[in-house]
Chains A and B, each alone.
Chain A
Amino acid sequence: MRLSLQIANRFLRFSKGQTILIALGIAVGVSVQVFIGLLIQGLQDGLIDTTIGNAAHITVSTDDSKGIDNYSQIINDIEGSDLGITAITPSITGNGFLKNDETSEPIFVKGYDLASAEGIYEFADRISEGRLPRSNNEVLIGIGLADNLGVLVNDTTDIFLVDGTLKEVMVVGFLDFNVSVINNGWVVTGIDTASSLFGYENAVGTIEIQVDQVFEADAIGAKVAQIVNNDKLIVDNWKDQNAELLSGLNGQSISSLMIQIFVLVAVVLGIASVLAITVIQKSKQIGILKAMGITDGKASSIFLLQGFILGIIGAALGILFGLLLSYAFATFALNPDGTPVIPLSINYNFILTSGMIAVVSAMIASVMPARRSSKLTTIEVIRNG
């Protein structure tokens, strides 16, 4: 093995130009693979993050207008399970209007147990001005809403509902989620304020849940339904609600996989053809080594090892190029607001896998030359000069 490695090494170094050419070929393949892979991943992560980053993954709700009355029991039960729940909060939501002196805007009132809702919505980080509500009748409103109504922090204003209910609230801060639906429509408040506004008595409208394994949300949702064990309650999850998005992402993944496979096939064919030429170039050497008594196994391992070395060098260079390309893309391809068009998402497992696939492919490409080398005899070489 050591001798085969030494010979493989010498062969590669002796034909430097060829070696560099093959290594670059592999590197280009790997870099395309890494770049496209990371790009698609970044794109998908970004999409998923905007879809479910600050949203419930699983909801428990009811059609009953009185709401869920045993909600603290349910929350306890769910929290007591080992489903990988990262956040859980009761919520009361409803439509209404926020009134100023002259105008009013339609709003979406979201009442939460603010401490536990923080785990999902991170309101504290989203406040552009002001503070979190501390007592009853204090609200946060979207920054767009504040603009439209000309409301300032610490102003008092009225929420009214279509049934005529009117409630005076104090605006203690503005929220900026970078999402216009939220910025222009949300009014966030404590659960008690919302419950008195919408007339729930010791009940909530919904229980919102975030989980660790977001792509398991449907399966976890089914388990939550078992725990809740009440057919009046509806358990829903983000995957069912976003089926179209998911099938779109899936299609994208498949097409990216296809691109990667074709790149790989091209690389393997390229290496195989160059290595096949190498074996012919080196047939004299193989013949003389066999006359000196090298075994067929060792003679073939020379070429497998060449494939391995080329694979390693190519993969390393390719990963480097691919990462540079990805960084360059994330740095220079920017939205007007200066954020990257596609955020960089470095997935080390994916990069490592790409590299390993390249090494294995290079070795597969060297199987044919290795077999040729194994079959070559001294007599063929000396007969043909």
Chain B
Amino acid sequence: MGNIIEIRNVNKIYGSTVKTQVLHDISLDIEAGSFNAIIGESGSGKSTLLNILGSLDDPTDGYIRIDNRQISELSKKELALLRNETIGFVFQFHYLLPEFTAIENVLMPYKIKGKKVTGEIMARANELMEMVGLSDVKHNLANNMSGGQQQRTAIARALMNNPKIILADEPTGNLDSGSTEVIYELMRSVNKEMGTTFITITHDQRIADKADRIIEIVDGRVMESRRPALEAV
């Protein structure tokens, strides 16, 4: 399979008077359908890299191709469309819309696409809720669920439009180890069954070890990029 994301010589410098270089000349290829873990010390630049990989942030220089489109050449509308159709995000602080119920949150990416919610789409949303094990609480307002439930809802939401890529920034950072396990199992099974590419930041070595590939960031540089599963076998 080809690469779903390619970045070349990416630098990120914060500040204009006092300049802090956070990413140093990073080049990376992410293979379509792979499950990737980004690890590294706090402040090493993981989130910065992930946000650039997901087109949420602009690099200071270097180029990014996502799904064969060069990001710097896309208009704001095309970029919005790319995010809507190709990428799903799961953040550490889940960020559900508290004004909407769980299932409404899951449907949101589809509604943003601007199409009518058909019975078929409704069935898909219900299926996703079922898959993340939340059928019972799907009509709860987002805030009336536990942290783990909210995070699972966020994953269901990220999956709604069947994106090619899911980016997750410490999705289990706030959860106990039991919930963490459940969520990574879920992500892994989606990856296997639907071929969705996953890139997730984690502090948990056990989780990282289950990935196809570990990308370790040290002081804004890719130090190591290995395939733990293959080595382990």
Q: Which residues of A are at the interface with B, using a C-beta cutoff of 8 A?
A: 3, 6-7, 10-11, 13-14, 284-285, 287-296, 298, 377-379, 381-382, 385
The answer, among A3, A285, A287, A385, for a CB contact under 8 Å with B114, is A3
Counting CB contacts under 8 A, is B85 at the interface?
A: yes
B81 and A293 within 8 A (CB): yes
Size band of the B side of the interface? 20 to 34
Mask: chain B, 93-127; 1 = CB below 8 Å from A; 0 = not: 10111111000000011011110000000000000
The answer, among A7, A294, A379, for a CB contact under 8 Å with B80, is A294
Residues 63-110 of B contacting A (Cβ, < 8 Å)? 76-77, 80-85, 89, 91, 93, 95-100, 108-109
Counting CB contacts under 8 A, is B194 at the interface?
A: no
CB contacts (< 8 Å) of B47 on chain A: these are: 382
CB contacts (< 8 Å) of A379 on chain B: these are: 51, 56-57
Given A292-B89, A295-B76, A379-B51, 16 other A-B residues pairs in contact with their CB atoms under 8 A: A3-B112, A7-B99, A10-B100, A284-B95, A289-B97, A291-B83, A292-B112, A292-B157, A293-B83, A293-B109, A294-B112, A296-B76, A298-B112, A378-B56, A382-B47, A382-B51
Q: Point out which of B85, B98, B99 has the most chain A C-beta atoms below 10 A from its C-beta.
A: B99
The answer, among B54, B56, B81, B111, for a CB contact under 8 Å with A377, is B56
A292 and B109 within 8 A (CB): yes
| Chain A residue with Cβ nearest B160 | A292
- Give A11 to B97 CA distance when docked, in angstroms: 10
The answer, among B80, B82, B99, for a CB contact under 8 Å with A10, is B99
B99 and A291 within 8 A (CB): no
Can you list 7 A-B contacts with CB-CB less than 8 angstroms, sorted by A residue number? A3-B112, A14-B99, A285-B97, A285-B98, A293-B81, A294-B80, A382-B91
The answer, among A289, A291, A296, A385, for a CB contact under 8 Å with B56, is A291
| Chain B residue with Cβ nearest A12 | B99
Q: Point out which of A7, A288, A289, A292 has the most chain B C-beta atoms below 10 A from its C-beta.
A: A292
Q: Which residues of B are at the interface with A, using a C-beta cutoff of 8 A?
A: 47, 51, 54, 56-57, 76-77, 80-85, 89, 91, 93, 95-100, 108-109, 111-114, 157, 169
| Chain A residue with Cβ nearest B81 | A293
The answer, among A13, A288, A293, for a CB contact under 8 Å with B97, is A288
A293 and B85 within 8 A (CB): yes
A373 to chain B, nearest CB (A): 14
B93 and A291 within 8 A (CB): no
Known A379-B51, A382-B91; judge A3-B56 contact (CB<8 A). Answer: no
- Give A285 to B80 CA distance when docked, in angstroms: 16
CB contacts (< 8 Å) of B108 on chain A: these are: 289, 292
A50 to chain B, nearest CB (A): 58
Known A284-B95, A377-B56; judge A291-B100 contact (CB<8 A). Answer: no
- Give A36 to B91 CA distance when docked, in angstroms: 54
| Chain B residue with Cβ nearest A297 | B77
A254 to chain B, nearest CB (A): 46
- Give A378 to B58 CA distance when docked, in angstroms: 12
CB contacts (< 8 Å) of A14 on chain B: these are: 98-99
| Chain B residue with Cβ nearest A295 | B80
Known A14-B98, A379-B51, A379-B57; judge A292-B84 contact (CB<8 A). Answer: yes
B82 and A291 within 8 A (CB): no
CB contacts (< 8 Å) of B91 on chain A: these are: 288, 382
- Give A287 to B56 CA distance when docked, in angstroms: 10
| Chain B residue with Cβ nearest A292 | B109
CB contacts (< 8 Å) of A378 on chain B: these are: 56
A11 and B56 within 8 A (CB): no
- Give A380 to B170 CA distance when docked, in angstroms: 18
| Chain A residue with Cβ nearest B79 | A293
